[in-house]
Chains A and B, each alone.
Chain A
């Protein structure tokens, strides 16, 4: 904070140029011009060096390499890929894998964090103790270590596929990951999907209508159960009526491997578990702080108004706690997304892992690093824009 006082010529005796430099207004401008010149010079110097170095090392520059044949395989493929496909496609798969593990991790970490955060405030000794131990353990351990623990310490020492551990619903857990049944939909299955969409639409309409009616008449109408009925019940009814158009393919254990079904790779499992467990501990603390931030007077006032326990939570505590929770929650989501890059250590093919392979093959470090930065900055910006919008919606409206 510069002091904008009129100090021009304060030192009287000094001449014109000196007065100019001693005047805080002009001094600020001069400082800024100096900074810009210095930065431009630095930038020019760095670019100049880079061009010189690239030329002497015979490394091509530019993004042409994205079109070239990659020649490597990727272990988790959301879209088709082969070693004949281009570097560009490999990087897109990397981005998709980053998004997949981040989204899964965010959902799991949020669930875990909210449960544990509420558990830390429980009056029950055992629940509170377990929650505290969980939070204090995982907050103080590097995420990379947690990832490696799951991968090398737990998943790698599971039995081989031949002796895989059977789980409910025909799934198997082995050192090749988790093998689950896949659902093969047959003709007519679209009706169920359509019913699901219709049910969700109807439920939204119902909520909207009941809110409007409550504003107008003051009467509340039951919303929760009819909405559940619409979203869950309707598709089930349609599903049965159309004659159960689905078939499950169960994995079967052969001598060396598990055949059929859907395989969730151990790399994904390790990264997913570690990210959710690690970030869950932080979210738990955020949730706890949020709930504690709602003063006791609010709860007491609500119960004085005759609200029931559930109503107090829903209408008084949670909306106010959310205002405190959302900003730090956003940064935790971003942290989780950025931490997903640690999958490199266990070979999960996310953007950084694929990018480092590309970097090693082509040597075009500047371009690959630029792609990384642009993608992560875009994700960060998108998530924080969305969360800022959500934050504005729930924010306290002041004068």
Chain B
């Protein structure tokens, strides 16, 4: 139906008019953003001059006055006194391979290269949303890659003890029990529990007594009676969970067995001799070592942090208290004292005869330290999950671990991805501290490099540090940009 309207009512859209002459164009942009008020004008001029001076000094230092090629310090020394000296990039060029690999044997550097390429591919596969096979990729990254990297970098052929194997199996069996123990129905779970308790008891016996009750060699590993028993009971406990799960329909019963089998495999793979020349960890260095420490710390701190965060949120006072004390202790002290503690006290805490190498000590310190920070980030996520989700999970009849695994943690972790990445960035920067306890990471090799008498010039130190700073910056800036990207991508569910 046509509506009767007065003649002065417009019946069509009036075309929009162009903006007034003073409100558009480059002049307007400049006026509005630089010279809006007298104060603004003064600030613009002062800071503009400052910025121009800054850019000019940086350019002239890094490019115009810089020395790019040369074999030793002579190239970087300016002929006349009083002339301004630029960067000595020749120094970075000469020491570049050291900055990357430390003292890793030159003919074996294809091994770290290979590890780096595989790592980059797997990370890219996991990080870029459009690449398929995410779950396979994640398995490869977290299950297979660590063993591959360890074997390639060290050359394997370790003297694996039965106690160590038993320890791996213990961790695996407990993981399997926590994740799937409640999925096993009724009484069938009992063998699993009993086997687990037996395993813990055996492990305690291994630790307490260095009793040599006969040795059994299998797959290159020397077992004592107790470690054999421990390994067997780990297997029994996992199989029992699987049997229990088989009573129910629609569950993948192979899952609880995987961790234990993987643990056994790790032990065997590490003991295996592949004909690779062993490279001792004190030859590792440079960016390679920085990445190893950072990635190991990240990988270890995430599961530990999740456990600590859950413990801190627990209803059980003893567990909560222990977790709070643990977290607050590590958060209250500087990493450097933690590293000192790991370097000087860890050997004292272990029974005589057990010795950790220096890298492993640093890794233990870094992992515990960052786990505490990670725990606080994850706790934030746990607290942000509405109570209804916990109650809903409980009313479905899910056990504690089931509800955490299937309902709470997936949501909580997703919420705190930016915080987790921030912790990663912090950890990555903190790895530079291992230089203080004598490891030659990227910063450490640069530090050693500019004390080299062949390269002492006034600008060597600054050049080396700017280079190292740029490498660190690239990684950290990249991570922070990626976290922002993920945040935007995952935000969809909450947008209105």
Residues of A within 8 A of B (CB): 1-5, 11, 13-14, 18, 21, 28-29, 31-33, 35-36, 39, 41, 45-46, 49-50, 52-54, 56, 123-127, 129-130, 136-137, 139-146, 148-149, 152-154, 156-157, 334, 338-339, 341-342, 344-345, 352, 356, 359, 365-366, 369, 372-373, 376-377, 380-381
Contacts and interface: CB of A to CB of B under 8 A. Distances in A.
A124 B315 contact: no
A141 B469 contact: yes
A355 B273 CA distance: 44
B227 interface: no
Contacts of B459: 157
Contacts of A125: 33-34, 44
Interface in B94-142: none
A4 B390 CA distance: 12
Given A45-B207, A341-B337, A126 B472 contact: no
Interface stretch (B234-242, B262-270, B295-303, B345-353): B345-353
What does DSSP make chain A's interface, helix, strand, loop or mixed?
helix
A337 B488 CA distance: 34
Interface in B313-372: 313-319, 322, 329, 331-337, 340-341, 344-345, 347-352
Interface stretch (B18-26, B153-161, B430-438): B430-438
The main secondary structure of chain B at its interface with chain A is helix
Contacts of A11: 186-187
A53 B355 CA distance: 12
Given A50-B349, A124-B40, A369 B472 contact: no
Contacts of A344: 336, 436
Interface of B: 32-34, 36, 40, 43-44, 47-48, 50-51, 186-187, 190, 193, 204, 207-208, 313-319, 322, 329, 331-337, 340-341, 344-345, 347-352, 390, 394, 399-400, 403, 425, 429-433, 435-436, 443, 447, 450, 458-459, 461-462, 465-466, 468-469, 472-473, 476-477, 480
A372 B333 contact: yes
Given A13-B187, A366-B348, A127 B461 contact: no
Contacts of B344: 359, 365, 369
A385 to B, nearest CB: 12
Contacts of A127: 43-44, 47
Chain B CB count within 10 A is highest, among A35, A152, A352, A359, for A152
Contacts of A338: 333-335
Contact of A376 (B186, B208, B333, B351): B333
A356 B438 CA distance: 13
B402 to A, nearest CB: 10
B4 to A, nearest CB: 41
B468 A49 contact: no
Contacts of A154: 462
For B337, B344, B347, B469, which residue has the most chain A Cβ atoms within 10 angstroms?
B337
B34 A145 contact: no
A246 B292 CA distance: 59
B316 A31 contact: yes
Given A1-B315, A36-B318, 19 more contacts: A1-B400, A35-B322, A45-B208, A52-B352, A123-B36, A124-B33, A127-B43, A129-B51, A141-B429, A142-B429, A149-B462, A153-B462, A153-B466, A338-B333, A341-B337, A342-B433, A352-B334, A352-B337, A365-B348
Nearest to B344: A365
Contacts of B44: 124-127
A50 B340 contact: no
A368 to B, nearest CB: 8
